[in-house]
C-alpha cells in the first residue's frame, strides 16, 4: 500500500485526512508537536493500517529526517502533506506593529520547514510511481486581509515555492490546496472571542483532496471544496 507523511496530524485537517487515508489502507507517518494528542490519533488509526507517530517540531532537522526515514521503512513516501502551520500572534497584529521574531517564526514553520522536508523526501518521492506533494495553503495567501500579513504572506511564499517546484519537477504532482474556512483550533485562535461554530468541519475539505489523489490531477493550485485548478 502507498505511504503518506502528514504533518500537523493530531487534529484538524491533518487528522481528518489521515482518517480518510487509513480507511483506504494507506500506511501513515504522522507528525505533531503534542505527543498525547498524536498518540491518541495513532491508537485510533492503527487498527486500520500501519501508523508511525513521530512527535516533534517540523522546524527541527533531526525530526524531519526521522519522518522521512519512517516513511522509507514503510516502503514510501508516495505522498507528502505539508499541513503543519503557525498562525502567529493572536489577535493578529498589523504589519507595521508585527514583532519580527514572531514573523520569522511563522516563516520558519510555514515556508522553510515544508521546503526542508520536501528536500529530504524528494529522492524517495521521485522513485514512487506516483510521487505527490500537497502543500496546504490559504485564501489569505492570495487576498489582502487586514491583520493577516504574517500568516498570509507566508502562505503566499509557500504558493510560489510550490509553483516553482512543479515547474522544476514535472514528473511529480505538486498541489497547493486551499481547504477553506474550517472549525479548527487555528481558526479559533485567529478570531479570539468569536463564535466560529458555523464554520464547516475539516472533514468537509477531505473529499476534494481525495479527488486530486484519485484522479492524479495535474500540478496546480486547488480549492479543496471545489477541487478544480484555480490558478
Cα of 139 vs its chain's centroid, Å:
14
* Strand ranges of the sheet holding 51-55, from the earlier edge strand across to the other edge: 51-55, 27-32, 3-6, 79-82, 132-136, 173-178, 220-223, 226-229
Q: Is 151 a catalytic residue?
A: yes
- Catalytic entry in 145, 151, 191, 222: 151
| Residues known to be catalytic | 151
Amino acid at each position: 500500500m502507498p505511504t503518506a507523511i502528514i504533518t500537523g496530524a493530531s487534529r484538524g485537517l491533518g487528522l481528518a485526512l489521515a482518517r480518510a487515508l487509513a480507511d483506504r489502507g494507506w500506511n501513515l507517518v504522522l507528525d505533531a508537536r503534542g505527543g498525547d494528542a498524536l498518540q491518541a490519533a495513532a491508537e485510533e488509526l492503527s487498527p486500520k493500517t500501519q501508523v508511525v507517530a513521530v512527535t516533534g517540531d517540523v522546524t527541527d532537522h533531526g525530526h524531519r529526517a526521522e519522518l522521512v526515514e519512517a516513511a522509507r521503512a514503510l516502503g514510501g513516501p508516495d505522498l507528502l502533506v505539508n499541513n503543519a502551520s503557525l498562525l502567529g500572534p493572536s489577535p493578529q497584529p498589523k504589519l507595521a506593529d508585527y514583532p519580527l521574531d514572531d514573523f520569522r517564526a511563522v516563516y520558519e514553520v510555514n515556508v522553510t520547514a515544508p521546503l526542508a522536508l520536501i528536500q529530504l523526501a524528494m529522492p524517495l518521492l521521485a522513485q514512487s510511481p506516483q510521487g505527490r506533494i500537497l502543500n496546504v495553503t490559504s485564501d489569505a495567501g492570495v487576498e489582502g486581509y487586514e491583520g493577516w500579513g504574517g500568516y498570509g504572506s507566508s502562505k503566499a511564499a509557500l504558493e510560489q515555492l510550490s509553483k516553482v517546484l512543479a515547474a522544476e519537477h514535472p514528473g511529480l504532482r505538486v498541489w497547493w490546496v486551499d481547504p477553506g474556512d474550517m472549525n479548527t483550533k487555528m481558526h479559533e485562535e485567529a478570531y479570539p472571542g468569536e463564535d466560529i461554530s458555523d464554520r464547516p468541519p475539516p472533514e468537509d475539505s477531505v473529499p476534494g483532496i481525495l479527488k486530486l489523489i484519485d484522479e492524479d490531477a495535474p500540478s496546480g493550485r486547488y480549492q479543496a471544496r471545489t477541487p478544480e485548478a484555480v490558478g
